[in-house]
Amino acid sequence: MKILFMGTPDFALASLRALCEAGEDVIGVVTQPDQPKGRGYALTPPPVKVYAQERGLPVFQPATLRDDAFYDLLLSLAPDLIVVAAYGKLLPQRVLDFPPFGCVNVHGSLLPAYRGAAPIQRAIMDGQTVTGITTMRMNAGLDTGDILLTGEVPIRENDNFEAVHDRMAACGAAVLLRTIAGLREGSIIPQRQDDSCATYAPKIEKSDCVLDFSDSARRLHNQIRGLSPFPLAFTRTPNGRLLKVLASEVAEEGDAKTAPPSAAAMGKAACAQPGDSGLPLPGTVLSLEDGKVTVACGKGKLALLAVLPEGKGRMPASAWINGRKIRVGDCLGQC
């Protein structure tokens, strides 16, 4: 079976590596164009391209899949199967229809849950304890194709996106190999998705990264770990400077033990004064003990374990505390 692989980031790299190491006939790799990165904005190849070149595989980086040039490439390569993993572009219908065995996508969720661009992040942010991989036969819809095989991946309480991503990439590679074997044998019976159960995972926007301490400590913790190590959830320090949060833990689940934000308190540099109820306002720093910055939330308390202050490097919360950049009674965000 001649396989054309389409993918771009590290998540896709795991599947490409598995195909090559299993001895599958990968006839070419299609990936996104090199992108400028770093302070010098040097053009940087995607991980899939780097690996493919190391293996001596033909690499193609078309600006579009919709012109005749790409279709002519398909005609010259004549793949039996196209495998897609986090490629980054939708495939036009004539590409979907081209290979005899169709186009198989390695998707980072248990479909029909979390269709879309950010399934791993959204599952963590939603507090899910299990996610997984689905291989599906692609159609023109957004992750709506028939399910081929699946594999489950646990999400532990303090896992961040990086930890879950790496397990998902490995699971995706394993499920892909089983899928190709099943297609070759004719043993897989595709299953239609139940659209009534579908949920969506849109790409991460800046608004998704703002920490609102009137929310519960548990939800804030899920938000932080779902966005770490990139792009990172953030808040503001009393002087208005940006503070990104790398890691946290729930210090106390608790009931609602903070006062709601008041108009009088909005915009204050510090929240040492309690609200009208006598309770600390959400966002108030309650403790700096044990190298943790413990903050009052709408429900419970959240401990910040590692941060990225504006203009600084990543550091444990203890280093930020020792630098005297935070004190008990300070307000994070808008109290």
Name the residue type at position 25.
D
Per-chain mean pLDDT for the chain: 93
* Tens digits of residue pLDDT in 97-128: 999 999 999 999 999 999 999 999 999 999 99
| Angle of CA points 153, 166, 225, to nearest 5° | 80
The pLDDT score that the predictor gives to residue 278 is 66
Cβ contact 208:124 at 8 Å: no
Say if residue 277's pLDDT is above 70: no
Separation of alpha carbons 313 and 83, rounded Å: 39
Question: Element (H or E) spanning 37, and its range?
Answer: strand 35-37
Rg (CA), the chain: 24
Q: With cut-offs at 50, 70 and 90, classify the pLDDT of residue 37.
A: confident
Q: Which residues pair with 252 in a beta bridge?
A: 301
Q: Which residue's entry shows tokens 């006839």?
A: 27
Q: With cut-offs at 50, 70 and 90, classify the pLDDT of residue 254.
A: confident
Separation of alpha carbons 125 and 119, rounded Å: 10
50 φ, ψ to 5°? -60, -50
Cβ contact 282:243 at 8 Å: no
* Tens digits of residue pLDDT in 142-198: 999 999 999 999 999 999 999 999 999 999 999 999 999 999 999 999 999 999 999
The pLDDT score that the predictor gives to residue 191 is 98
Say if residue 23's pLDDT is above 60: yes
Separation of alpha carbons 165 and 174, rounded Å: 14
Mean pLDDT of 80-84: 98
E strands along 185-312, which residues?
Answer: 233-236, 242-252, 285-287, 293-296, 301-309
Say if residue 265's pLDDT is above 50: no
Mean pLDDT of 73-91: 97
The domains located in the chain, with CATH, are 2-197 (3.40.50.170), 206-322 (3.10.25.10)
3-state SS assignment for residue 158 = coil
Separation of alpha carbons 6 and 30, rounded Å: 5
Q: Which of 53-67, 134-148, 170-184, 243-257 has the lowest mean pLDDT?
A: 243-257
The pLDDT score that the predictor gives to residue 41 is 85
